[in-house]
Structure 1
């Protein structure tokens, strides 16, 4: 059963702060890249440096990437709606995939062009000194931009902004390669300029592949890392009433995490108490800042044992048969409580006017029938239900005292003897 509250998932102050930081840092990046792109391409043409022109095209792709980040940040900050109950955080994953694709294509083009020039070294011109000055200026600017953006991204825990920051670092590294290529060209090794251009293309393509692949994995619901999974598991197991957990699954929505889990509780707890334990488990996991939502399914026994609970009869069938049997034996049926377990179905038949609790089945050791000393009518009801449905155990209990005293209108006598095990044939359950 799901336990979730989508009212404040995306409209939190943290989400709004993330959007504001993304907008501010991205605009800073845009203006810096506009200045650098203009300088690199213009100077690269006049200084005849293919490496500097390639780096300028790289900076131009950064501007396009920055506008994609702005659009994604705006979209991911929108509140959940009927069509997107988990919010719009995956705009960030889609944007990261798009950014990676852009970088991969740009890098491949630059690599191809650099290789072409390397195949014709006689056509490589001598580079002007001004190209080296611009390359160093770009290197310093991109490194400063990286440090500024990374601090902001880590403060608001945004994977998309972290990716954009490391994109700036890759730009700085590529500018370093360009500077060395231009320096080598000026020293008489003209082949180093197109070689630097090819290396820049290779670096950009590698960065694009890395970002795009990770974003694609998140879009197809890759689980979180092992350390985060261990933390979630420990929080669940520390919840009072949780015996163990099964089927712990995680997936990312942008920078946030959605958790699905099955918890095992005492099989004979009331539904409301099982729900309470599930809520406690959910609240414990939600203390982790990256958790968006937790869906908790309550199991009375492990789901991993290959159970066949659907083979057992529904409540309406058993209750109808119990009522007919009670009526035939001059008893008044008050309630029927069923326990669907891996090793069989058990029933508590609650009647009015019975002097002693009745049980049906065998003692499970030597096959000796139990139930001696019971009223014949109650014994008949228990035996008939056991034989008809192959129940593991049937307990016939009586109502005592004021029936309005209990929340459900019953005050049932407590059975102090162990449950009997029925021997009647029924559906096979491991």
Structure 2
């Protein structure tokens, strides 16, 4: 858990530093050369700074241990932070679209072509690809939705900046209206990313179940544990960091409470060591190949055990 936290925080710090530099360069260049697409790209980078700061705070809260008020820990803080990032991106998309539409309708694009803008955009693309590769590796390694959201944002920025370059080139060729149009396309891309990130966060906050394939693997794992005669039900819900698993198994009705408890402990120990599982609750129900007669169990337990073996 500590390694997960430290590596995720490094992603956030890298995002804050990298996007701060990129936003200053893009907005300065966009303002100087009157490129709406590059200004839009810079505005997106400002949003990325906020997103990285939210990632930092979200990871910090999520790493806190369980307490009396949070019996399942603080893991869902990551999902809350992820949702904030998604909403922020949607807001930025609206602002960028509005500004680009204003330029388009007023026919006021006065972009000045410069190789400096192309160089800045290429630098931004290379930087963002590096940030994406680093973030996606950490996010997948620790199944961290917040870091994965940052990675998705980084790769989106690569295409956004490619759009900026296209706008600059088209305007230089005399097609002035392509610059604000590409600005609007960028805004739509940002909106799509924001909606996707928000949907993933909502799934976690709404206690979504674990992947069906993993769930089937859990059932198969439980079924082969000695003493388990029937896997009756396995349900899961997200804890933000990992999943809580509730298991209902059937054991021989003639077992003692201690024997049933030992089987339940084996089930829990087996599952708790499985990736993505943070908590396990095991319920035991009596089952047998033959009917367990209550009177037999009460008056002649030894014989009943013998008949049911």
Structure 1: gaps (5+ residues):
1-14, 303-342, 351-395, 398-411, 420-430
2:222 pairs with 214, 217, 236, which one?
A: 236
| Equivalent in the alignment of 2:186 | 200
Q: Secondary structure at the match of 1:81?
A: coil
Task: State whether residues 117 and 124 of structure 1, in contact with CA within 8 Å, keep that contact through their aligned partners in structure 2.
Answer: yes
1:183 aligns with 2:131: no
| Equivalent in the alignment of 1:401 | none
Number of residue pairs matched?
A: 305
CA distance in 1, matches of 2:230, 2:100: 59
Task: State whether residues 48 and 128 of structure 1, in contact with CA within 8 Å, keep that contact through their aligned partners in structure 2.
Answer: no
Cα gap change, 1:188 to 1:415, in 2 (>3 Å): closer
CA distance in 1, matches of 2:302, 2:206: 54
Cα gap change, 1:233 to 1:141, in 2 (>3 Å): same
Following superposition, the deviation at residue 414 of structure 1 comes to: 3.2
CA distance in 2, matches of 1:296, 1:149: 36
Greater radius of gyration (CA): 1
1:346 aligns with 2:235: no
1:126 aligns with 2:111: yes
Pick 1 or 2: higher relative contact order, CA cutoff 8 A, min separation 6.
2
CA distance in 2, matches of 1:45, 1:178: 13
CA distance in 2, matches of 1:211, 1:288: 26
Following superposition, the deviation at residue 133 of structure 1 comes to: 2.6
Q: Secondary structure at the match of 2:247?
A: strand
Cα gap change, 1:293 to 1:204, in 2 (>3 Å): same
Q: Which structure has greater helix proportion? A: 2
1:161 aligns with 2:158: no
Following superposition, the deviation at residue 152 of structure 1 comes to: 2.8
- Normalised by the size of structure 2, how large is the TM-score? 0.91
1:48 aligns with 2:34: yes
| Equivalent in the alignment of 2:275 | 289
2:198 pairs with 212, 227, 246, which one?
A: 212
Cα gap change, 1:349 to 1:276, in 2 (>3 Å): closer
| Equivalent in the alignment of 1:95 | 81
Deviations 1:297-320 (A, max 9, x none): 111149xxxxxxxxxxxxxxxxxx
Cα gap change, 1:349 to 1:151, in 2 (>3 Å): closer
CA distance in 2, matches of 1:123, 1:413: 94
Q: Secondary structure at the match of 2:252?
A: coil
Structure 2: gaps (5+ residues):
none
| Equivalent in the alignment of 1:414 | 303
| Equivalent in the alignment of 2:135 | 149
CA distance in 1, matches of 2:305, 2:270: 36
Following superposition, the deviation at residue 415 of structure 1 comes to: 6.3
Task: State whether residues 75 and 91 of structure 1, in contact with CA within 8 Å, keep that contact through their aligned partners in structure 2.
Answer: yes
